[in-house]
Amino acid sequence: MKAFAYVRPADLAGAVEAHGGRPGSAYLAGGTNLVDLMKLGVADPDTVVDVSRLLDGDVARTADGGVRIGAGVRNSDLALHPLVGGRCPVVAQALLSGASAQIRNVATTGGNLLQRTRCPYFQDTAKPCNKRRPGSGCGALDGTTRDHAVLGHSPSCVATHPSDLAVALAALDAEVELLGPADRGTRTVPVGDFIRLPGDRPDRDNLLEPGELLTAVLLPPGAFGVPSRYRKVRDRSSYAFALVSVAAVLELSDGRVRRVALAFGGLAHRPWRALTAEELLLGAEPVPAVVRTAVDAELGRARPLRDNAFKVELALNLACEVLQGLAGAPPA
């Protein structure tokens, strides 16, 4: 591992100042992604700014009836927290399906969302990768693309975002709170917009400006007390990224859909909010044929790669099962 300077500021403002927005600076919280990448030689910061003792580790109600989750809250603690766990099943289920128990005990809420969008070739420094080294090419396109994107990808990058939590938060219209330097202050951005599609800049995973620090996740009041679910399909039952995952919220009124939110994981460079399917479902009677038609319309936009056409069928079946389960109907 390359030698680096280690800085432990006294407060968050000092941390942002110490980072300075320099390309060679990196924040350290739980370290479950950054330290791995440093060991592999994929990340080589010259300054590591330790914010692990500074980030808010509390979960608290907000004045509008929502919940503010400090970026330093551990994944395990959040999944079981009384303000979130039982009241917002989709978040708890997503968290508990991620990584391993040991990693969840260390990984933070902020770090979960900021983990690199990546594929195995990103971590292999012998292979080209536009995300690791812009302009070098994409090793996946000349290799195996089974785990890769089917939606929203570009010729520059076909990786998928690995976070389960991000998919649940996108379905709930959650926001992230970002702290910048003193002259820029704090701003909020919807999670669904915060994580980027690759375009021609796959080296940028999200909308963080240089030096900005993710300080909290904000769940709106509407995230609570509604039927919601997260399902994940993967190659083994633990410690594996999603081949496909689905986060959904579904509320009915007089047998018709009053509210629906559907997001996919494992299909794109960011959580994929299925707005076309939602539009078709809103106001409809969620019988199996209607649900399947709506989800199919969303997935009709998919552009599978050489090895991953199976993901489209898998996503269709999984979304139908989840939505019909929430609607109280048996799957088709």
Cβ nearer to ligand SF4, comparing 136 with 188 = 136
Specify whether the CB–CB gap between 198 and 185 falls below 8 A: no
Specify whether the CB–CB gap between 130 and 137 falls below 8 A: yes
**To the nearest whole angstrom, how small is the minimum distance from the Cβ of residue 307 to ligand SF4?**
13
**To the nearest whole angstrom, how small is the minimum distance from the Cβ of residue 129 to ligand SF4?**
3
Cβ nearer to ligand SF4, comparing 120 with 227 = 120
Q: For residue 125, what are its two tokens? A: 């420094």
Beta bridge partners of 219: 67
Q: Is residue 277 at the binding interface for ligand SF4, with CB under 6 A as the rule?
A: no
Q: Is residue 18 at the binding interface for ligand SF4, with CB under 6 A as the rule?
A: no
CA angle 103, 31, 178 (to 5 degrees): 110
Out of 43, 49, 88, 159, name the contact with ligand SF4 by CB under 6 A: 159
Phi, psi of 86 (to 5 degrees): -75, -20
Specify whether the CB–CB gap between 239 and 290 falls below 8 A: no
Among 299, 296, 289, residue whose Cα is nearest residue 327: 289
**To the nearest whole angstrom, how small is the minimum distance from the Cβ of residue 266 to ligand SF4?**
14
> Which residues between 103 and 132 bind ligand SF4 (CB under 6 A)?
118-119, 121-122, 129-131
Amino acid in position 146: R
Q: Is residue 151 at the binding interface for ligand SF4, with CB under 6 A as the rule?
A: no
Cβ nearer to ligand SF4, comparing 169 with 268 = 268
Angle between the N-to-C axes of helices 288-299 and 310-326, in degrees from 0 to 180, rounded to the nearest 10: 140
Cβ nearer to ligand SF4, comparing 5 with 309 = 309
Q: Is residue 229 at the binding interface for ligand SF4, with CB under 6 A as the rule?
A: no
Out of 28, 34, 95, 138, name the contact with ligand SF4 by CB under 6 A: 138
Distance between CA 270 and CA 248 in Å, rounded? 16
What binding mask, one character per residue, do residues 20-39 give for ligand SF4 by CB under 6 A, x or -?
--------------------
Distance between CA 191 and CA 172 in Å, rounded? 9
How many C-alpha atoms does 155 have within 13 Å on its Cβ side? 2
Phi, psi of 122 (to 5 degrees): -60, -35
Among 34, 115, 110, residue whose Cα is nearest residue 78: 110
Among 243, 245, 264, residue whose Cα is nearest residue 307: 243
Q: Is residue 161 at the binding interface for ligand SF4, with CB under 6 A as the rule?
A: no
Cβ nearer to ligand SF4, comparing 115 with 130 = 130
**To the nearest whole angstrom, how small is the minimum distance from the Cβ of residue 140 to ligand SF4?**
4
> Which residues between 179 and 208 bind ligand SF4 (CB under 6 A)?
202
Out of 37, 71, 94, 140, name the contact with ligand SF4 by CB under 6 A: 140
**To the nearest whole angstrom, how small is the minimum distance from the Cβ of residue 114 to ligand SF4?**
16
Q: List residues near ligand SF4 by CB under 6 A.
A: 118-119, 121-122, 129-131, 138-140, 157-159, 202
